[in-house]
Amino acid sequence: MKVFWGIASFAFFSGLYSCNFDQQEVYDTKAIATLDRMCEVIGELESCSFTLEASSNQINDGKMTVRERSSQLYVEAPDKLFVYTNSPNGRKGYWYDGNQLAVFRYDQKTFDTISVAGNIHEMMDRAHHAYDVEFPGADIFYPTFTDDLMADHDTIVLLENEQDQNVISILAKGDQDFVVIDIDGETGLPLKLEIVNRADNSIYYEANFSHWKTNPKFRPELFRFDIPEGAQQLNLLKKMES
């Protein structure tokens, strides 16, 4: 996993903010404006597709494990979504057509479907809270992203990106973590999201966004799930119905 260019400086930021800013909120107006612009750019898209490479650290029985996955996402506002994810645990697809959410495990040839109406945000909220489904890159599609970040972090500032002057880097500091967001200065689209544990300055989530296509035309069948021959239906989404 590629390490963020400024990870060595997180200890510095941690000490700096704990000395000077722990008793007050510090929100850089330019940083907030950049985040708001990102939300606005995404909110105005009629459709988009992108690749997301994500990794997360998890501690199981005292041992650190790294979970990696690569996803391709295709989104059509307000209520169409297709996600293809490849990870060491296997390949998985999600289809949402505005009325039905389907999940298919390619390697096991198992699937499930459930009726759920609403826009993409409403579907993802229900799937996450009722079934613990995590859609890669979901947070950036919420219009409340900036407000949500401010609610959990008392400091949001710009960082100087020495590697690429066209990339705007933003640091958010909360009680438990740092969040670093890299945004393309020209397009306003996100490039990288990192969450760093304040306890030991270790990255426990990193997501890299690439191959953005904005407002492409998709075939309607992209978002329609057709049961593959020989596939077996299981209660993969049973918890969602309870």
Model confidence pLDDT, tens digit, residues 71-112: 999 999 999 999 999 999 999 999 999 999 999 999 999 999
Q: Is residue 133 part of a domain?
A: yes
In a domain, 221, yes or no: yes
Q: How confident is the model at residue 238 (pLDDT cuts 50, 70, 90)?
A: low
More confident residue, 145 or 202: 145
Structural domain total, the chain: 1
Backbone angles phi, psi at 147, to 5 degrees: -60, -40
Segment among 26-30, 107-111, 146-150, 232-236 with least mean pLDDT: 232-236
Q: Work out the average pLDDT over 12-35.
A: 70
* Band of residue 239 on the pLDDT scale cut at 50, 70, 90: low
Q: Is residue 150 part of a domain?
A: yes
Largest CA distance in the chain: 62
Q: How far is CA 215 from CA 38, 208, 226, in A?
A: 16, 20, 25
CA dihedral angle for residue 146, residue 151, residue 154, residue 158, rounded to 10 degrees: -10
Nearest CA to 137 among 35, 54, 40? 54
> Residue 19 pLDDT > 60, yes or no?
no
- Domain membership of residue 2 (yes or no) is no
pLDDT above 90: percentage of residues in the chain: 66
Residue span of the structural domain in which 225 resides: 7-241
Q: What number is the average pLDDT over the span 165-180?
A: 94
Specify the amino acid at residue 51.
T
Q: Is pLDDT of 43 > 70?
A: yes
CA nearest to 10, candidates 2, 21, 18, 22: 18
CATH number of the domain enclosing 67: 2.50.20.10
Assess if residue 1 is contained within a domain: no
Residue 87 domain-assigned (yes or no): yes
Helix (H) or strand (E) holding 102: strand 100-105
> Cβ of 177: how many Cβ atoms within 10 Å?
17
pLDDT digits (tens, 9 = 90+) for 112-124: 998 888 999 999 9
pLDDT at 21: 47
pLDDT of 220 reads 96
Report yes or no on 72 lying in a domain.
yes
At residue 83, the pLDDT reads 97
Within-domain flag for 67: yes
Residue bearing the bigger pLDDT, 77 or 199:
77
pLDDT at 53: 98
What number of helices (H) and strands (E) belong to the chain? 5, 13
- What local confidence, expressed as pLDDT, does residue 114 receive? 87
Could you tell me which residue, 203 or 153, shows the higher pLDDT?
153
